[in-house]
Structure 1
């Protein structure tokens, strides 16, 4: 551990909560250098929807490496890229009647958001955008300007401009969309007409706040009426995390632009894309580029993940069954310990439980770690315990993790309230 304390920056965060040295991982399990095993209910913050070292994806990658397949290709054509694009269109886009072109950005989610915002401003010739309270979109300048979290914003050291913040659905009892409409229609409201609206349909770091289908439909209607682009940041909520491949599917809306990263590679490899309606593809060659926008190893595993998990409805059914199991545990805990919890939050396998204070959530996650499970918190005060295990988890593994969570809740109830209901 000394090498980390001596050499690594204080900016690290997850290691503060999980102070061990991990050596290897498989499926839903992490193993330390001491041979201790932990159930992973963090899953790379949503980057490992298909688990650690998924055997099918690993085999495809090993075979590709063994035949000296292209590893790094900038934005040149390659067989691996072609295979991914074909699979994405055939398995994901066409069945959903979504007509998008694909832009490969630098391999991080925040880079995809930057590209989406730049494109929207370029196409519309406007400099401002609208984002929402409790949204999180990344830590580079443009994405951070659209991010609501004060802790991350304070790390900038620079002004974060050209964003108007609107209340998300359910925020402080304010009808954010009514406010948005009123400001758009009032020439004295002081809000410049935005190029785009940027949002997460389920706010990950913001506390698992869910936009209803009706709210999303109304927002989409407002954007169309006022010639404003709708950008859905599906970096954390996409790739099946909420129960469907795209988080916005149940609402029936079709965003103008969608950003994907995290689990799009299928294997935890760096990869990010922007999906954009063809008429918006007004880039000139190289206007937004990045040395590592051609991670062909990620293309290989991404294509294979689509083939094996999204060619049928079986995986979606599995996610729904797991979600039901998680929600049953959440509801049971709320009923047993009303002095500790407020409500369940989220959708699908992007679910959590809101505690009556971040101190309670912190104690629960610490107790979980002490008993062999990695799980983290979300929300403005870190008050939501966030269930984020790989989507490939088995029923038995999920039961084991939920049992660890319930035991942790009981121990914290004794510590805080001197009782177990």
Structure 2
């Protein structure tokens, strides 16, 4: 029997996990490396940030997922570089790992377009830590407002700004508005949470720019009905502890959430290749690094063409398709067969929800909006969740919220003192 090939997969997101699943039964030894010990269902991360779901309902230990795969070794560590000459992945806390095939699926982080200092005041949403930080700040803002006697400071505490009106921004704005206007009013005595201002800011001309203009307009109308203030066409020009500026207009707010842009991992620097504007590695038609057939780059880390003018979007279905493609290419290499396929992204449509009863769906010329779209959106997400227990937990949480209007995951679990203007 031929010696087993050493396959190293960096990143346990959708792309990395799909690649590992696709190599099941192949003559390989797999090392899966991630900085965290869990796989995260990112499409529902905003629901953790906005008190709808608990962290355990959208994340699963990586070791548990592959407990029956003896050929898979999981390492909790961080990649700091890649030696392509010796085929070694350099790690921060342990010895380097050799590879015959390398799959980089390291995802992306939020990008602040050259304003990295804004991150302190406007956290983005990519990890469980991000989600719990945002949830804590949202809940503490209401608690601090209950204690505040100065009307102006109280108003600033009750102003919540979301920067970026893609699906994440729209979804978060809708749920925070429902939290303030429907869930919390009976629970506070000194403040009227219905007076909270939820502000959604988009530099472009409309919300949900990836959707058709008709569905974009519908989503905006649905947000307005929920009490969200929508500002489009003017960018945020400043962000600090006191609030933001939209153009030259200063707005006092104590909770700002960033949902405006993403930046790829440092994979291009590790490889010594040129990245695109977002830092993504420009790959060949079969998702490999130019001139190095032993390295695949997939998911949000890769810049992959879709048609003439577009790139494959950074969504879960695209990542899973690329992971499966890379696994098939490696299998062909193992069998000594030529692999002449070109990766072709199969678009599965755009989905976004606005609050707990409204969604928009677009697949080619098929468009749907309203309550039925919301149910379809929910079923689609439940289908992709890992494990029966997680599906049942999420269904129960959503059903409880739908029937009662109450969001149950409203625990402040980490200590944080809100900044005041004097501090």
Same-fold call, TM cutoff 0.5: no
Structure holding more helix per residue? 1
TM bin, normalised by shorter chain, reads under 0.3
Structure exhibiting the larger radius of gyration computed from Cα positions = 2
More strand by share: 2
TM-score by length of 1: 0.27
Where relative contact order (Cα < 8 A, 6+ residues apart) is larger, the structure is: 1
Per the normalisation by structure 2, the TM-score is: 0.27
